[in-house]
């Protein structure tokens, strides 16, 4: 069974000028909540169980979900207070029934081949596989360095790069890392797991270069409204 966690508890502070009073995942893009496109994509990728990690105004998301007739099992967890990306993922993994799950962000659409990522992950016997995307002339994202086998060597801070690989925010994670390692209730998955445990965990990067957009800033939110007109 393919399972996916969507991190959908964000406030969307940088979008307040164009989107108000709803969680970021519920920002309206071409007439539908952005979450609509994520669910549609996951269903097409044959996911059978989707877990939403909710926080800010979770009732808006739940009420909208209750209006849908989906061919997939939907579960959710709710953060009573912000737990960081790590805490949110760990909490959502309590609902995961298998030994691994895809994790995506509720404000990012990366149209990857998930079966290719799963095959890559299994072949590498990875603990965590990160989907990477090649970009040029960027400073909004940090870059990622890998060896020839795809194992991640370093996460670089945000700075201008003429060309490089970025972390696309799509992870395949083994459930047992939360059983085998001691984490606080609140922590950052990026800082406290991926960066701090590069040597002790097998963390690999799988490059895919399909469509990618992060609606976290107004300019890309407007671009998404144009791009997703054909996805309704």
Residues of the chain above pLDDT 90, percent: 66
Determine, yes or no, domain membership for 30: yes
In tens, the pLDDT along 26-56 reads 988 898 999 999 999 999 999 999 999 998 8
Q: Could you tell me if 207 and 165 are in contact, meaning their C-beta atoms sit under 8 angstroms apart?
A: yes
Compute the average pLDDT of residues 83-103.
Answer: 95
Report the domain count for the chain.
1
Q: Which runs of E-coded beta strand occur in 24-127?
A: 28-29, 32-33, 49-54, 73-78, 100-105, 108-110
**pLDDT band at residue 231 using 50, 70 and 90 as cut-offs:** low
Determine, yes or no, domain membership for 177: yes
CATH code where residue 87 lies: 3.90.550.10
Determine, yes or no, domain membership for 74: yes
**Phi-psi region at 129: left, alpha or beta (left = phi > 0; alpha = psi -120 to 50):** beta
Q: Could you tell me if 231 and 30 are in contact, meaning their C-beta atoms sit under 8 angstroms apart?
A: yes
Give the global pTM: 0.93
Determine, yes or no, domain membership for 141: no
Q: What per-residue confidence (pLDDT) applies to 228?
A: 87
10 Å CB burial of residue 91 (0-12, 13-18, 19+) is: buried
Q: What per-residue confidence (pLDDT) applies to 12?
A: 57
In tens, the pLDDT along 159-203 reads 888 888 999 999 999 999 988 778 888 999 999 999 999 999 999
Structural element, H or E, at residue 27: none
Residue reference for tokens 């164009």: 18
Q: Indicate the range of 150-154, 198-202, 226-230 predicted with least confidence.
A: 226-230
Q: What per-residue confidence (pLDDT) applies to 170?
A: 96
The Cα 213–Cα 17 span in angstroms is 19
Q: Evaluate the CA torsion angle 41, 220, 76, 205 in order and state its sign.
A: positive
pLDDT reading at 205 higher than 80? yes
Identify the CA nearest to 166 among candidates 198, 134, 211.
134
The Cα 155–Cα 44 span in angstroms is 31
The Cα 25–Cα 160 span in angstroms is 28
Determine, yes or no, domain membership for 126: yes
Determine, yes or no, domain membership for 181: yes
In tens, the pLDDT along 4-25 reads 999 998 765 555 555 667 888 8
Look up the domain containing 175 and give its range. Answer: 3-130+167-203+212-231
Task: Annotate 152-220 with DSSP letters as a single string.
Answer: EEEEPPS--EEEEEEEEEEEEEETTHHHHS---SS--IIIIIIITTTTTS-EEEEE--S-EEETTSHHH
Identify the CA nearest to 55 among candidates 109, 106, 108, 3.
106
Mean per-residue pLDDT of the chain: 90
Which tokens go with 75? Answer: 């579960």
Determine, yes or no, domain membership for 146: no
Determine, yes or no, domain membership for 115: yes
Q: CA–CA distance from 186 to each of 56, 69, 131 (Å)?
A: 16, 34, 24
């Amino acid at each position: 069974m393919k399972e996916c966690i969507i991190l959908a508890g964000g406030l969307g502070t940088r979008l307040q000028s164009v989107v108000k009073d709803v969680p970021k995942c519920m920002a309206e893009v071409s007439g539908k909540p952005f979450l609509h496109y994520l669910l549609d994509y996951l269903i097409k990728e044959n996911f059978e169980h989707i877990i939403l990690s909710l926080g800010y105004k979770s009732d808006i998301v739940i009420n909208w979900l209750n209006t849908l007739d989906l061919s997939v099992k939907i579960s959710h967890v709710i953060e009573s207070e912000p737990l960081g990306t790590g805490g949110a993922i760990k909490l959502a993994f309590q609902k995961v029934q298998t030994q691994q799950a895809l994790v995506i962000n509720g404000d990012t659409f990366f149209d990857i081949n998930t079966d290719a990522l799963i095959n890559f992950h299994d072949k590498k016997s990875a603990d965590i596989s990160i989907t990477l995307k090649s970009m040029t002339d960027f400073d909004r994202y940090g870059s990622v360095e890998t060896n020839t086998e795809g194992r991640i060597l370093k996460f670089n801070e945000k700075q201008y790069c003429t060309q490089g690989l970025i972390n696309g925010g799509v992870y395949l994670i083994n459930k047992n890392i939360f059983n085998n390692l001691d984490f606080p209730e609140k922590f950052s998955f990026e800082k406290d797991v991926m960066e701090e445990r590069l040597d002790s965990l097998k963390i690999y990067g799988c490059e895919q270069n399909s469509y990618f957009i992060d609606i976290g800033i107004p300019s890309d939110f407007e671009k998404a409204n144009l791009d997703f007109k054909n996805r309704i």
